[in-house]
Structure 1
């Protein structure tokens, strides 16, 4: 009995101790397994879900969101945006030659001292806008002062001699004065006139105009101070000399230029001459402003071939209302040939999808155009450009015929797009 009881308790202990250990191990393993398998699974699932959210959101922005540039109405007006429709036509061929920017012939004036003396004062600064006749500076000239004094003295003697001659004529007519006295008065008047004319000629030789001499006669001022007036309305682009500097009559003191219109000068070889005619359009760029294109018209084709260079000069007149072009700049000019657009001038040419060159802007390594997608809203569209001419470029892909894109002001939208890519936002 006792033995059976002991065996029963022993078996029971074994079952009690064995089962819980096994069950606990399995439960523990199950729990640990869950934590070690589910947790990584959840972590991966969570990470995967998070990646999908982030990547999905990023892909949505990249694939679904169309980047749009929003401008304020004031910005649109300031940019003076213009649009044009892409259309199929023959591409104009052109001639590309180096060129240089310079003043027009009547648009620049160099102001010389005109009289020997010293610079007393400089009234203007570089870049200042001046009116015609405005004093750019003043000179002190003892020689001019003496010449003025001589003129005023001669003018006074002439006036006195004239009055005396008139009185003697009246007295002679009344029989009060003799003919000899009248002739003496007349001779004195003629001599005084000759002296005044000589003094007048000397003032002219020193550079004074008739108006300046009349003004001198009116105020009877003996000053040796002499103004250097601007001969035209424009901008002061050069100032030579300093206050107190001695100058002679030929010393150039100031240069004033009207920069609203400039010349672009081209030198063509004899073989290129047949492709250029007066009135043709010329487009060109300068290295300082590579994204902007300027246009002008051929005003003059030279009549003489330079014997040394064997080239013919061509002059192009270019408006410069904003003053972006500077005389002395080097340019790359493209002359649009006549008779190439629309298949004129001979052989039939293929039709191409064409846009004005300024419409296609380079952004990074891509070429884009800007399409209006609403009021003051513009979307960049990537295109692939092909052949180009002086004013046009072929579009191989990216847009359809009839699509209206921004032409004038496209480079401004490009700048706004660059701000967007740098994270500056849509604050336009």
Structure 2
């Protein structure tokens, strides 16, 4: 609408709404039903507020570091047999591979020797205590035997700890000490449930200590790294629910990156709260991020909103006329706009000839 038409509408509104020479500059001003009809003013009744889902941003599915485990070689040896395949779902404690290692045999032997010496030392303590009780030996001999038994037991614990670091569980160590039978191959087990994402070793391959063999990922917990423009760093709802577009998956915001990356983008990290089985680490998806302050927003035609001094207003029908109500524009799409403010269901909002109402509200000197 050009300036001359707007000025004519404003003048006509003043003539219709102000029978005297008084102009209304207050937020509330009278308008009769006849005047509304003459100006072509129509209203829309508010039904109920809606939640604005917010804009859509690109996101990448990320596996948290603590959700991935690397099964590495506890000692040098030869990979004898693989017991799992890539992409296989496994459970906690499941056997993964056999590793033949001379060092494993030496560790078992040290554990057996330590256990044997510990048994002898304990027997010596029993004998020395009996001799002391009969007055045959001094008490010093008892103390020396007890110290030797304590040292022998410490060596047993040390040898058992080395086997545990190699991946042997406590039950297997106890069975080894009890039976005295050495095992040829070390069986490596999974430390937790998950999916085998990669196998780094092959049967017959020689590996060194600490070489990665198998990678297992627990995908029950995933993150989304969402790219949002830096200028909208504070526009997202801290407690809102993020929706992954096209998937039955949702997430909750965790943190906002402190450094602006390429393209003036920030990373909003969110934790997937439902539908993690719909996502795969590394894939790119679209995430709909709710805006801050959009709960209880109202959808209106774009023409219903006017601006004055940088503030958005809508005109609410009252018993006497209209009141200019300040609102916040939270979203806009095509011919519609979503606003938030002190509005309620049942309010009647002017949606046409709003320029005439604004002119009547401000007077001739108040037009933009």
TM-score category by the smaller chain?
Answer: 0.5 to 0.7
Shift in Å, 1:325: 1.9
Shift in Å, 1:197: 4.1
Assess if the C-alpha contact under 8 Å between 1:305 and 1:312 holds in 2: yes
Q: Which residue of 2 aligns with 1:196?
A: 156
1:328-357 C-alpha deviation (Å, 9 max, x unpaired): 1011222121332532xxxx64179xxxxx
Paired residue secondary structure (1:350): strand
Structure 1: state its 5+ residue gaps: 1-86, 286-291, 353-385, 389-393, 395-428
Q: Which residue of 1 aligns with 2:256?
A: 302
1:338 matched to 2:292: yes
Closer, same or farther in 2 for the Cα pair 1:240/1:299, shift >3 Å? same
Assess if the C-alpha contact under 8 Å between 2:256 and 2:267 holds in 1: yes
1:350 matched to 2:310: no
1:234 matched to 2:194: yes
Looking at structure 1, the residues matched to 215 and 221 of structure 2 have their Cα atoms a distance apart, in angstroms, of 16
1:135-158 C-alpha deviation (Å, 9 max, x unpaired): 111211211220121011111111
Paired residue secondary structure (2:247): strand
Paired residue secondary structure (1:217): helix
Q: Which residue of 2 aligns with 1:247?
A: 207
1:317 matched to 2:271: yes
> Which protein is bigger by CA-based radius of gyration?
1
Shift in Å, 1:270: 3.1
1:219-266 C-alpha deviation (Å, 9 max, x unpaired): 433224222211112222222211111122322222222334422212
1:69-115 C-alpha deviation (Å, 9 max, x unpaired): xxxxxxxxxxxxxxxxxx97557262332211122444332222222
1:103 to 63, 86, 89: 63
Structure 2-normalised TM-score?
0.60
Structure 2: state its 5+ residue gaps: 1-46, 303-331, 339-368
Assess if the C-alpha contact under 8 Å between 1:115 and 1:207 holds in 2: no
1:159 to 86, 99, 119: 119
CA RMSD in angstroms, aligned pairs only: 3.4
Q: Which has the higher helix share?
A: 1
1:128-175 C-alpha deviation (Å, 9 max, x unpaired): 221111111121121122012101111111111111112211221122
Looking at structure 2, the residues matched to 284 and 244 of structure 1 have their Cα atoms a distance apart, in angstroms, of 44
1:143 matched to 2:103: yes
1:259 matched to 2:219: yes
1:329 to 266, 283, 288: 283
Structure 1-normalised TM-score?
0.53
Q: Number of paired residues?
A: 260
Paired residue secondary structure (1:274): coil
Q: Which residue of 1 aligns with 2:230?
A: 270
